[in-house]
Structure 1
Amino acid sequence: MTVVIELSAARVPVGVTGAGEWVYLAREGGWSSLTDSSPIFLVTVLQQGAAFHSDLGARLVAVGLAPVLADTFPVDSSVRLGLTWTTEFWQQAALDWLEREGRAEAFLPELESLVHTGGTQRIRHAARRLGRAARQQLRE
């Protein structure tokens, strides 16, 4: 296992195993799968915005790993956490991510929920717009 990056203000070590699985150092001291558990610190990926993928690729290269491993990082978990978070900041960060990166169709249930429960009109309208576009794309 190779540590690649530290996430959140708590600087949680995140690495990738020889099998290509993304893991993090849990409080209990052992390594846990990011995809199996979706720990809450994953939401902080949204703060890094468009730079996250390229920064992660550069860090992978710096530790001697292939930059294509960045494509396997569980960003969907970060977006899902943001969309379901109770604060407007993370909801908006997740919506901004989807507007920039696409793939809103993977989050239709969360977007539909935000249409009704989003903290601000801006959030509700963005969720509605992204949801409509995703449904349209699925029909095509």
Structure 2
Amino acid sequence: HDRHERKRKRQEVQQLQKLQHLESFYEKPPPGLIKENETKPEDCIPDVPGNESAREFLAHAPTKGLWMPLGKEVKVMQCWRCKRYGHRTGDKECPFFIKGNQKLEQFRVAHEDPMYDIIRENKRHEKEMR
């Protein structure tokens, strides 16, 4: 009776090892596989003059986990105005920042700011209270 028990245990262990081997075998790439050009993070930004700093930064940025190295934001976005990557229209990094129609720019900033109307209302209310 005891011998049958041991034999059954041994068969179970062998079966388990076989399954584990198959699982690990099928998950691994074949040994002769030549790796295709892996997509690097900086490849999402075209390699043209003006984008060097954004590409350079992305090339050496950590990929595992959510990091903000040295508090520097990793921004993969294209600016509409200068067509460069790493910032958006209206960001201070943009070479076209502050250029353009100042009046229009002030209106745009005020119009896009969700708090603008609330602050304006508060100021008006304060004046009425005085």
Question: Which of the five TM-score ranges fits, normalised by the shorter chain?
Answer: under 0.3
Q: Computing the radius of gyration over CA atoms, which structure comes out larger, 1 or 2?
A: 2
Which of the two has greater helix per residue?
A: 1
Which of the two has greater strand per residue?
A: 1
Q: Which has the higher contact order (CA 8 A, sep 6+)?
A: 1
